[in-house]
Structure 1
Amino acid sequence: MKRVVITGAGTINALGFDVPATYAAMREGTCGIGPLDFQDVDRLAIKIGGQVQGYEAETYFNRQQLSLYDRFTQFTLLAARQALAQSGLEFHGELADRSGVILGNSGGGLTTQDENFRAVYEEGKNRVHPFVVPKLMNNAAASHVSMEFNLRGPTFTVSTACASSNHAMGQAYQMVRSGMAPAMITGGSEAMLCFGGVKAWEGLRVMSKKACRPFSATRNGMVQGEGAGVFVFEEYEHARARGADILAEIIGFAMSSDAADIVMPSKAGAARAISGALKDGQIAKERVSYINAHGTGTAANDKTECAAVADVFGAHADNLMISSTKSMHGHLIGGTGAVELLACLMALRDGVIAPTINYEEPDPECALDVVPNEAREAKVDVVMSNAFAFGGLNAVIALARP
C-alpha cells in the first residue's frame, strides 16, 4: 500500500473565499451565519444560514461558463483552482490519464432547479434553457474540474447526504493508496441556499431560527451553509520527488451503515466507523488528540456522537478535544466534510484547534471537551473528522502530521 498525502487545499465558504481567510476566521471564532438573501426569503420560517456573502459570479466566470455552471459548480471550481495552484501539479501524459476527480455533493444544482421550476410553474413558460440538465446534474462539478485541469482518470460524484465529502475523500484516498492513481482531486460542495432548498429542510423541523449551538444544552437545531472544499491527494513518494509542500498525511478511513433508521442516528453505527478508521490506520487511541465532530446542533446527533466517541475511546475520551465548526460556517450538507477537513489541517499545521462557538450551557450528555467559544493552541499529531448522514451512512477519516 502507498502512503497518501495532501499537497493542496482550496475553499470558498461563509467564513472566507480561500483557505487563509477561513483559518483566520476559525482562529477568531467568527460566525459566518447571518440573514439569508435570495428571492422569496420572506416566505420562509428559517431566514438564517451560512451564505457566501459578497460573491459575484461574473468576477470569476464569463457568460458562456455561467450558462453551464450552477452555483455549486462555481464554488467547486474556485476551490479546485486554489488547491491545484498550491500543489503545483500539472496534468499531462500518463499522470493525466491516471489521475481523476471524486467529489461529494448531495443536492446538485438546486439553484438551477429552483429557477426553472419557478419559470415553468409560476411564470407559465414552456421552454427552459437547453443546458438545464447538464447544469443541475450532481456530477457537473466533478466533470468540469476534470475538463479544466485535464484529469482523464477515474472521475465521479458521491452522493450520501451529509457524509458525501468524507465518502468521496475516502474513495480518493483508497485509489491513491492502492496505486490505482498517483493523484486525485477530491472534496465536496453544496449550494442549497435557495427558496426550495431551505423550504425542504424546514419540513424536517430540525432547523434553528437563531444560531447553531452544537453540544450546548440550549441548542435548538442545525443551520444550513454553502460552499466548497477541494484537496489534492497525492502518493507520498510522487509528492516528495517533486519537492511538494506536504500539508498532512491521510492514515486511516472507514465507513459504516446504521441499517436502522432513515433520519435517526445510531451510536453503534457511528462507533463502528470511528473504530474502523483507527483499525485501518493501525492508530493507537492515545495518539488521537482532536476530532472535528459532525456536531450539527441537533439533540439527536450531538448526544449520539458524544456517546459513540466515549464508547470508542474509553478513558482517553477525557483527553480529547472535539469541536464543531458548523457553529461558524453552517452545515454544508454534501460539502460539509470537505470544509471541516480544513479545521483538521489547521490543527496539524498551525497547532490551533478551531472552537465550537455559540456554546452557552453544558449538556451532561455531551460531557466532552468541546473547545467552547475560543480557539486553543495545542500540538497534535493525529486528528479525525466525523461525518454521519441521513440514511445512516457514516464516514470517518484520520490525518497525521507529515
Structure 2
Amino acid sequence: MSDRSVVVTGLGAVTAAGMGVEALWRATAAGESGAREVTLPRDYGQIVKIAAQAPALEVTDVFPDKRPGFFDRATTLALAAAVEAIGDAGLNDAGSLGPRTGVIVGTGIGSFGTIEDGVVSLLGGRRPDPLSIPRAMTSAAASQIGMAYGCTGPTFVVSSACASSAQAIGLALQMLRSGLADRVIAVGTEAVITPGGMKGWEAMRVLSPDRCRPFSKGRNGLLLGEGAAALILETAGLAGSRGARVRSRLMGYGTTSDAKDILRPDAEGARSAMAMALDDAGAAPEAIGYVNAHGTATVLNDTTESEALGRVFGQALAGIPVTSTKPVHGHTLGAAGAIEAVITVRALEERFVPPTINFLEPDPHCPVDCVPHTGRAHAFDMALTNSFAFGGINAALVFGRA
C-alpha cells in the first residue's frame, strides 16, 4: 500500500438527468437538457420558471431506516450519490470504513430549503421545526454520510460557492498523498431550487429566460440546477490491495483567488489555477485532450474563461475541445465541480467529448472549439475540469485515464 498516487474507484450522481451516473452520462453525451418548468411549494411570482430540477427524493428511498426529519434535500441528494458511489467502488460489504476513510463535502449554501422553510414559518407566526438546526447545519451532509458508512477519519465541509466541490476533491487528493487518509468520499451537493432560491438568482439578472448557451453569441444567462455527485478516491496502493476497479486517476489540483471583485471573474486568477493543476499533475499543457469548462453562459464568465484558456494553451487551444455541460444538468453551484468531475471521468473512459448544446453562432470573444450541438469521439488520455466561483475563488482538476 505504499503507492500514494490517487485513483477514482467509484462514482455516484443524482441530477436533473435522473438517478445515477449513467443517466447523467447518457443525457450529457446526447446533449439532452434537463431544463424544465419547476415545481415549487410556494409561488412568489417568479419570472424565470425553468431550471434543471432533480427528481423528487426522500432519504427513505435510499436508506429506509433513516428518519426523514433530519434530512434537508441537499443532504438527501448527497447521501443518494454516496450510496451509488460506494456500491460502484465495491464497498457495500466492507462494513464500517473506519479511521482511514474521510468524508469531504462541497456545497455553496447547504441546507437552503430548511432555512427558507424556517423563515416562512416565523413570518407566518408558526414555530420552526424542532429539527431545523441539525437539518440546516452546513456540515449535515458530511456527518450523515460518515455515520452511514462508519467513517471516523477527517470529516468536514468546504463552502466556497461554485468552487466548493472541486476544492473538496482537490483537498481529498492532498490528504491521500500526505497520508492523512487512505480513502475519501468526496461529494458535491446543492439544492437551491426553492421559491427563495429562484427569486434570489432571478433578482441578480443572471438567469436565462429561455436557454443556456455557453460560449455562443447571444447567450443571456445561466440555467440554475440542483443535484449531487460523489467520487470514491483512494490511494493506488489501497485500491490495488483490494483488487478494486480503477475508473480514472486524479492527477492534479490547483486553486487560487482573484482577490479583486466579489462577482466579476479575472482571467489571471483562472489561468493560475489551471497552470497550478497542470504543474501538480506533472503535465504539459499539450497533454490535455479535453477541457470541461466552467462555462456558465453568462457574458463575463465565458469571455474571461476563454481568455484564461488562451493564456494557458496558446495557439494549441484551437485543437482542444472545450465544452460546457451546464445546459444539460444546470449550474449546480457548489455541486458543479463534483458533477462535472464525474462527467470528465466518463468522457475519459469513453473517449468521447460531450457537446455544448443550444449554440447559435461563434462569439469572437470566445475562440474555443466548444463542440456545438453534437458530441464527438476523441482519443485523449488527460482532461482538465474548471470551477470558478463568486468571490474570485478558482479551482481546476486534472484527471487521467486509468
Give the TM-score range, shorter chain.
over 0.9
2:100 to 98, 101, 106: 98
Q: Partners of 1:258 and 1:307 in 2: how far apart?
A: 15
What one-letter code is carried by the residue in structure 2 that aligns with 1:293?
A: A
What one-letter code is carried by the residue in structure 1 that aligns with 2:68?
A: L
% identical aligned pairs: 40
Number of the residue aligned with 1:26? 28
What SS is found at the alignment partner of 1:373? coil
1:39 is displaced (CA, Å) by 2.1
1:83 is displaced (CA, Å) by 0.3
1:115 is displaced (CA, Å) by 1.6
What SS is found at the alignment partner of 2:395? strand
Number of the residue aligned with 1:326? 326
**Using a 3 Å threshold, how does the CA distance of structure 1 residues 358 and 390 change in structure 2: closer, same or farther?**
same
What one-letter code is carried by the residue in structure 2 that aligns with 1:258?
A: D
Number of the residue aligned with 1:367? 367
Q: Partners of 1:44 and 1:392 in 2: how far apart?
A: 28
- For residues 223-282 of structure 1, the C-alpha deviation after alignment (integer angstroms, 9 at most, x for no partner) is 110010001000001101211110100111010000100000000000000111111111
Number of the residue aligned with 2:265? 265
The reply on whether 1:83 has 2:60 as its aligned counterpart is no
What SS is found at the alignment partner of 1:161? coil
Q: How many residues are treated as equivalent by the alignment?
A: 399
Q: Partners of 1:52 and 1:388 in 2: how far apart?
A: 23
Q: Partners of 1:236 and 1:64 in 2: how far apart?
A: 33
1:290 is displaced (CA, Å) by 0.4
Alignment check: 8 A CA contact 1:176 1:234 kept = yes
Q: Partners of 1:355 and 1:98 in 2: how far apart?
A: 39
Q: Partners of 1:238 and 1:271 in 2: how far apart?
A: 34
1:316 is displaced (CA, Å) by 1.3
TM-score when normalising by structure 2: 0.96
What SS is found at the alignment partner of 2:7? strand
Alignment check: 8 A CA contact 1:16 1:25 kept = no
1:13 is displaced (CA, Å) by 0.2
Q: Partners of 1:250 and 1:137 in 2: how far apart?
A: 30
What one-letter code is carried by the residue in structure 1 that aligns with 2:371?
A: V
The reply on whether 1:113 has 2:115 as its aligned counterpart is yes
1:60 is displaced (CA, Å) by 3.6
- For residues 287-340 of structure 1, the C-alpha deviation after alignment (integer angstroms, 9 at most, x for no partner) is 101010000000100000000001111121111111111011110000011111
1:129 is displaced (CA, Å) by 1.7
**Using a 3 Å threshold, how does the CA distance of structure 1 residues 57 and 175 change in structure 2: closer, same or farther?**
closer
Alignment check: 8 A CA contact 2:267 2:304 kept = yes
Number of the residue aligned with 1:381? 381
- For residues 369-398 of structure 1, the C-alpha deviation after alignment (integer angstroms, 9 at most, x for no partner) is 001111111111000110010000000000
What SS is found at the alignment partner of 1:366? coil
Number of the residue aligned with 1:291? 291
Alignment check: 8 A CA contact 2:60 2:67 kept = no
1:44-193 alignment runs, 5 A limit: 44-55=46-57, 59-60=61-62, 62=64, 65-89=67-91, 96-121=98-123, 123-125=124-126, 127-193=127-193
Q: Partners of 2:376 and 2:57 in 1: how far apart?
A: 30
- For residues 196-229 of structure 1, the C-alpha deviation after alignment (integer angstroms, 9 at most, x for no partner) is 1111112211111111110010110011100100
RMSD value over aligned CA atoms? Answer: 1.5
1:138 is displaced (CA, Å) by 1.1
The reply on whether 1:217 has 2:226 as its aligned counterpart is no
1:268-283 alignment runs, 5 A limit: 268-283=268-283
Q: In terms of mean alpha carbon deviation, does 367-376 or 255-264 score higher?
A: 367-376
Q: Partners of 1:361 and 1:156 in 2: how far apart?
A: 43
Number of the residue aligned with 2:16? 14
- For residues 15-72 of structure 1, the C-alpha deviation after alignment (integer angstroms, 9 at most, x for no partner) is 1200111111112110101101112346112211000135465534558621000000
What SS is found at the alignment partner of 2:82? helix
Alignment check: 8 A CA contact 1:87 1:232 kept = yes
Q: In terms of mean alpha carbon deviation, does 343-352 or 183-192 score higher?
A: 343-352
What one-letter code is carried by the residue in structure 1 that aligns with 2:88?
A: Q
Q: Partners of 2:214 and 2:171 in 1: how far apart?
A: 28
**Using a 3 Å threshold, how does the CA distance of structure 1 residues 64 and 148 change in structure 2: closer, same or farther?**
closer
Alignment check: 8 A CA contact 1:112 1:132 kept = yes
What SS is found at the alignment partner of 2:387? strand
Number of the residue aligned with 1:5? 7
- For residues 84-125 of structure 1, the C-alpha deviation after alignment (integer angstroms, 9 at most, x for no partner) is 0111236567x611211001001111111122211210x211
1:194-233 alignment runs, 5 A limit: 194-233=194-233
Alignment check: 8 A CA contact 1:343 1:353 kept = no
What SS is found at the alignment partner of 2:289? strand
Alignment check: 8 A CA contact 2:82 2:187 kept = no
Alignment check: 8 A CA contact 1:347 1:380 kept = no
**Using a 3 Å threshold, how does the CA distance of structure 1 residues 150 and 277 change in structure 2: closer, same or farther?**
same
Number of the residue aligned with 2:252? 252
What one-letter code is carried by the residue in structure 2 that aligns with 1:18?
A: G
- For residues 171-193 of structure 1, the C-alpha deviation after alignment (integer angstroms, 9 at most, x for no partner) is 01110111111000002000000
What one-letter code is carried by the residue in structure 2 that aligns with 1:361?
A: E
- For residues 145-186 of structure 1, the C-alpha deviation after alignment (integer angstroms, 9 at most, x for no partner) is 000000000000000000001011100111011111100000
Alignment check: 8 A CA contact 2:18 2:55 kept = no
Q: Partners of 2:64 and 2:343 in 1: how far apart?
A: 32
Q: Partners of 1:64 and 1:314 in 2: how far apart?
A: 52
